[in-house]
């Protein structure tokens, strides 16, 4: 494995180029000294596991002159004759910076999603981490818990659709669990009408799918005059059609689900709006450190005191700093859904009490975002930052 910053060091060059390396042959405890990380890397290279710690790729091998090369080889042979070559194989392989950083394709990441294989939520997980291991969960809450219990690294959950609107359940769960939003995925959702092999769409009497998916295909399904039946997710609907073997029952699901469950695609892109986009959130146990290197979004949730113009004031903290809001959602407060307010003239009145969820286009690394939330805190009864994460701009 090649190490950043180390390639120029090739394994034979190291012992002669670093001061103190010559001692290493006789004192492996040199590792316990107060060595810098670079020196520590050198020690490991020089003493023991040069070949195993770093296997330089072909073009990173040092181009040694004859004299350098014979000197280096001599030192290695000296070490080996003193018996160090045996230790080389026994010593643990030192960790490198590459070992510690997660690969960008997510090949070591386990991602929970709600639904069965072939669900759109799995597509979203694979869009975010193309080589991840996807872990199906029966309910949204199971995906939250899987992250909290360290069964998986991340969860990918739908939060809103461009046609169907918000997925309220996930807004409520965001507050009930203490996970952090570390990313978002915008997914183009192309629904297909699926049926058993050889069936025509005219034969269908009913169709199964997730309620959001059925709602997104309202016009097509109405024109076919088919009865709609809710399922937990679109892939489960496809699986049910395949397993029941009913020729008059179809499913609204993805082309990938058709392949997985051996169904025919009777019609493609049956959603009412061509631009049918679902936005998913990526949740993790730890927040990411926000940057300013690319466009970021921040999600917050807060409650306000009762009174004229309080929501106006809350929104003004962003407008005053030129911060664009991309989403506002209000949900009833489960702990205190109703608030009784005593008015001396009118008697007591009951008001609904709300949580406000806001997404805004700025990173928490930007002072204007910090000032805006500091300002909001002055009159919000409760405020929580759910996450500050890179925006997904390409559906």
358 lies in the site for ligand PRE, by CB under 6 A: no
Q: Is 21 in the site for ligand PRE (CB under 6 A)?
A: no
Choose one: 87-95, 209-217, 258-266, 316-324; the region binding ligand PRE (CB under 6 A): 209-217
Query: Residue 96 or residue 216: which is nearer to ligand PRE going by CB?
Result: 216
Asked if residue 257 lies in contact with residue 209, where contact means CB atoms within 8 angstroms, the answer is no
Euclidean distance between CA atoms 264 and 132, whole angstroms: 28
Site for ligand PRE contains 189 (CB under 6 A)? yes
- Among candidates 188, 129, 125, which has minimal Cα distance to 157? 125
In whole angstroms, the minimum distance from the beta carbon of 193 to ligand PRE comes to 14
Considering only 9, 120, 144, 171, the residue that binds ligand PRE (CB under 6 A) is 120
- Between CA 230 and CA 240, with CA 234 as vertex, the angle to 5 degrees is 75
Q: Which of 39, 154, 210, 279 binds ligand PRE (CB under 6 A)?
A: 210
Which one from 84, 280, 302, 356 is the annotated catalytic residue?
280
**Looking only at residues 143 through 182 of this chain, which bind ligand PRE when binding is defined by CB under 6 A?**
158, 161, 167
Residue span binding ligand PRE (CB under 6 A) among the ranges 25-33, 145-153, 178-186, 229-237: 229-237
Residue 364 per-residue DSSP state: T
Residue 278 appears among annotated catalytic residues? yes
CA distances from 285 to 279, 291, 331, 360 (A): 20, 19, 24, 22
In angstroms, what CA-CA distances link 382 with 175, 253, 304, 379?
12, 40, 7, 9
* 121 touching ligand PRE, by CB under 6 A: yes
User: Stretches 20-28, 89-97, 228-236, 380-388: which one binds ligand PRE (CB under 6 A)?
Assistant: 228-236
Sole binder of ligand PRE in the list 235, 258, 282, 301 (CB under 6 A): 235
Looking at beta carbons only, is 102 or 139 nearer to ligand PRE? Answer: 139
To the nearest whole angstrom, how small is the minimum distance from the Cβ of residue 328 to ligand PRE? 20
Reference 304, options 313, 294, 296; nearest CA is 313
Q: Decide whether 278 or 363 has the Cβ nearer to ligand PRE.
A: 278
HEC readout, 102-135: CCCCCCCCEEEEECCCCCHHHHHHHHHCCCCEEE
DSSP conformation letters of 295-361: -EEEEEEEEE-SSTTHHHHHHHHHHTTTPPEEEEEEEE-SS-SEEEEEETTTEEEEEE-EEEEEEES
119 binds ligand PRE (CB under 6 A): yes
Q: Is 300 in the site for ligand PRE (CB under 6 A)?
A: no
Longest dimension (CA), the chain: 100
d(CA 90, CA 46): 15
Q: Can residue 115 be called a binding residue for ligand PRE (CB under 6 A)?
A: yes
Residue number, 214 or 373, with CB nearest to ligand PRE? 214
Cα–Cα distance, 29 to 365 (Å, whole number): 42
Active site residues: 278, 280
Residues forming contacts to ligand PRE in the complex (CB under 6 A) are 115, 119-121, 158, 161, 167, 189, 210, 212-213, 233-235, 278
């Amino acid at each position: 494995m090649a190490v950043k910053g180390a390639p120029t060091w090739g394994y034979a060059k190291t012992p002669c180029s670093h001061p103190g390396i010559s001692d290493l042959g006789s004192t492996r405890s040199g590792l316990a000294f107060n060595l810098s990380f670079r020196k520590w890397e050198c020690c490991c290279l020089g003493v023991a596991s040069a070949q195993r710690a770093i296997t330089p790729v072909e073009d990173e091998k040092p181009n040694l002159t004859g004299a350098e090369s014979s000197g280096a080889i001599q030192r290695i042979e000296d070490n080996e004759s003193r018996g160090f070559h045996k230790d080389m194989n026994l010593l643990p392989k030192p960790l490198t910076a590459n070992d510690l950083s997660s690969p960008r394709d997510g090949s070591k990441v386990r991602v929970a999603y709600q639904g069965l294989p072939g669900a759109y939520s799995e597509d979203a997980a694979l869009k975010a981490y193309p080589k991840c291991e996807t872990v199906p969960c029966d309910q949204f809450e199971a995906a939250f818990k899987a992250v909290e219990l360290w069964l998986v690294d991340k969860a990918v959950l739908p939060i809103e659709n461009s046609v169907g609107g918000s997925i309220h359940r996930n807004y409520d769960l965001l507050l009930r669990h203490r996970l952090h939003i570390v990313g978002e995925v915008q997914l183009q959702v192309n629904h297909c009408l699926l049926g058993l092999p050889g069936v025509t769409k005219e034969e269908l009497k009913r169709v199964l799918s997730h309620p959001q998916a059925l709602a997104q295909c309202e016009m097509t399904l109405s024109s076919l005059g088919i009865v709609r039946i809710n399922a937990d997710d679109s892939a489960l609907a496809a699986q049910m059609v395949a397993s029941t073997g009913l020729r008059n029952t179809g499913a609204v699901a993805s082309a990938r689900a058709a392949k997985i469950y051996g169904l025919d695609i009777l019609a493609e892109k049956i959603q009412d709006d061509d631009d049918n986009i679902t936005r998913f959130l990526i949740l993790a146990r730890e927040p990411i450190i926000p940057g300013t290197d690319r466009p970021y979004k921040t999600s917050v949730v807060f409650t306000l005191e009762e009174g004229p113009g309080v929501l106006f004031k809350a929104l003004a903290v962003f407008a005053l700093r030129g911060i664009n809001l991309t989403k506002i959602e209000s949900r009833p407060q489960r702990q205190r859904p109703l608030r009784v307010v005593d008015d001396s003239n009118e008697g007591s009145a009951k008001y609904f009490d709300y949580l406000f969820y806001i997404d805004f286009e700025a990173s928490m690394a930007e002072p204007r975002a910090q000032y805006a939330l500091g300002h909001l805190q002055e009159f919000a009864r409760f405020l929580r930052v759910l996450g500050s994460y890179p925006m997904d701009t390409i559906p």
